[in-house]
Structure 1
Amino acid sequence: MPILVITGTGTEVGKTVTTAAIAGAATAAGRSVAVLKAAQTGVRPDEPGDAEEVTRLAGPVTATEIARYPEPLAPGTAARRAGLAPVHPHEIAEAAAKLATEHDLVLLEGAGGLLVRFDPAGGTLADAAGLLAAPVLVVVAAGLGTLNTTELTAREVRARGLDLAGVVIGSWPTEPDLASRCNLADLPEVADAPLLGALPAGAGAVAPEAFRAAARGWLAPRLDGTWDAEAFRIRERPRAFG
């Protein structure tokens, strides 16, 4: 798995913190890691973006972004409004492939969801993943409403002939409600893919040293971690009525 494409079921589901955790766990396992942000939106040229946030949390990884746009919009829209060149899937794939020749693992993080448009032709992260023939990891929300968006994303990944590596819950609440607890069993079922981790809410606010020490405990062995999905489900299972 030299290249892993990381997408989400939408915005604010924890993609960047999940990417940082995967990078930190891989680095701790002795692998060289590069993180590629296909398009950064919503930040000025002098502000740190998602790639810098991954570096802050994960430590010594190569972090690169292809393009940056100031407004917090879909990359294609943000590029058009800023009068800047859009990013095309072939450019994303070429950048990831080059990094893969120099690193053991490349984490390609998208913007928003799988089908968010990057260019006027409708190019998406899914197209870049197809060019790379790379597996896709989907970061999902924990609570009510996540099953539909997770299943739709998983279906699209498979419709394109891509490998769905699994799903990770990007922010597991301190006090999960009934829907969140039930979703631990339902998410892998609707995705037809394994649950590969659950990051605690607020993980991105943890001090970097503590974040790196804890990251492996949030992720399954396939992502260089020690997290056990079944043990987590048993611990968090819904209480019986009455």
Structure 2
Amino acid sequence: MSVLFISGIDTDIGKTYATGMIAKVLMQQGINVITQKLVQTGVARDLSSGKMGVADDIITHRQLMGIPLQPCDVDNTTCPYRFEKPASPHLSARLASDILNPDVITSATKSLQADYEVVLLEGAGGLLVPITEKLLTLDYIAQEGYPVILVTSGRLGSINHTLLSLEAITSRGLEVHSIVYNHIHDSAAQTDAEIAAGTIEFLQKYLAQYYPTAHWLSLPVQDNDGFNNIDYILPQNFI
């Protein structure tokens, strides 16, 4: 289990924060871990050189982990495909007159596996986001056989989106490794405290019945700067 794929029930659900925090804890446990981004859209170009910068989510991962950018970040191994348009990867690539080749991503992952014990591969958007005109994210993950960590929250609609995501993962024969309940949206306007509490109760019971081997992770609320020193503990046998 050297590669874990981290996705979410929707965009802006907190995948990047979850990925960085999990990597931080694994690193504190003495595990040689690196994060990777499947593809990043909405990346700015350097005005002087015209080159694409390092993926924003990779930068956030390193900040959360408390380490500088690594050589594999600078040479873009951790995110080979970066596009300017903040859209679905297939559209961003088309607008950039580029073609995303999944084999390039796979090769990058294998290169990271050679140097690290664990690679946390963060997706872009939800599970069924198209990364090419013909390939959905989850179908690529199914080809590679990576276990899936799914990030959810207590926003209204999260139960539906979570169960649909679980069915999509299961239908492709993939392992549901963990569910991460992200408290990042607890104070958001669309999050009601009673609904959030009911969501947690329902999902925990649902997992116990249908996915008894899956881990349940509760990700605490971050500080205003987003980079706190929360003591976060992963379940036993997480890796």
Percent sequence identity is 28
Work out which of the residue numbers 86, 94, 100 in structure 2 matches 1:86: 100
Work out which of the residue numbers 193, 196, 217 in structure 1 matches 2:216: 196
Over aligned residues, Cα RMSD in angstroms? 2.3
Q: Deviations over 1:119-146 (max 9, x none)?
A: 122x132223223222100011222200
Paired AA for residue 200 in structure 1: P
Task: Please say if 1:102 is aligned against 2:115.
Answer: yes
Where does residue 49 of structure 2 map in the other structure? none
Where does residue 49 of structure 1 map in the other structure? 56
Task: Please say if 1:21 is aligned against 2:24.
Answer: no
How many pairs were matched up? 217
C-alpha distance in 2 between matches for 1:118 and 1:200: 30
The alpha-carbon deviation at position 94 of structure 1 amounts to 2.8
State the SS of the aligned residue for 1:205.
Answer: coil
Q: Deviations over 1:9-44 (max 9, x none)?
A: 111100000000010001001011111101111121
The alpha-carbon deviation at position 197 of structure 1 amounts to 1.7
The alpha-carbon deviation at position 155 of structure 1 amounts to 0.5
User: Contact between 1:188 and 1:195, CA under 8 Å: does it hold in 2?
Assistant: no
Paired AA for residue 116 in structure 1: V
Task: Please say if 1:179 is aligned against 2:195.
Answer: yes
Work out which of the residue numbers 122, 125, 145 in structure 2 matches 1:133: 145
Work out which of the residue numbers 58, 62, 67 in structure 1 matches 2:65: 58
- Distance verdict in 2 for CA 1:181–1:24, change over 3 Å: same
Where does residue 239 of structure 1 map in the other structure? none
Q: What TM-score comes out, normalization by structure 2 length?
A: 0.82
Paired AA for residue 188 in structure 1: Q
- In structure 1, the gaps of 5 or more residues are 225-242
- Distance verdict in 2 for CA 1:204–1:116, change over 3 Å: farther
Task: Please say if 1:112 is aligned against 2:128.
Answer: no
Paired AA for residue 138 in structure 1: L
Q: Deviations over 1:158-198 (max 9, x none)?
A: 10010001210223426961010111121234453445222
The alpha-carbon deviation at position 220 of structure 1 amounts to 3.1
After TM superposition, the runs of 4+ consecutive aligned structure 1 residues lying more than 6 A away are: none
More helix by share: 1
User: Contact between 2:153 and 2:183, CA under 8 Å: does it hold in 1?
Assistant: yes
- In structure 2, the gaps of 5 or more residues are 47-52
Q: What TM-score comes out, normalization by structure 1 length?
A: 0.81
C-alpha distance in 2 between matches for 1:3 and 1:83: 30
C-alpha distance in 1 between matches for 2:32 and 2:216: 21
Q: Deviations over 1:193-239 (max 9, x none)?
A: 445222233457244xx33xx2524x433447xxxxxxxxxxxxxxx
Task: Please say if 1:221 is aligned against 2:221.
Answer: no
User: Contact between 1:93 and 1:131, CA under 8 Å: does it hold in 2?
Assistant: no
User: Contact between 2:40 and 2:89, CA under 8 Å: does it hold in 1?
Assistant: yes
Paired AA for residue 216 in structure 1: Y
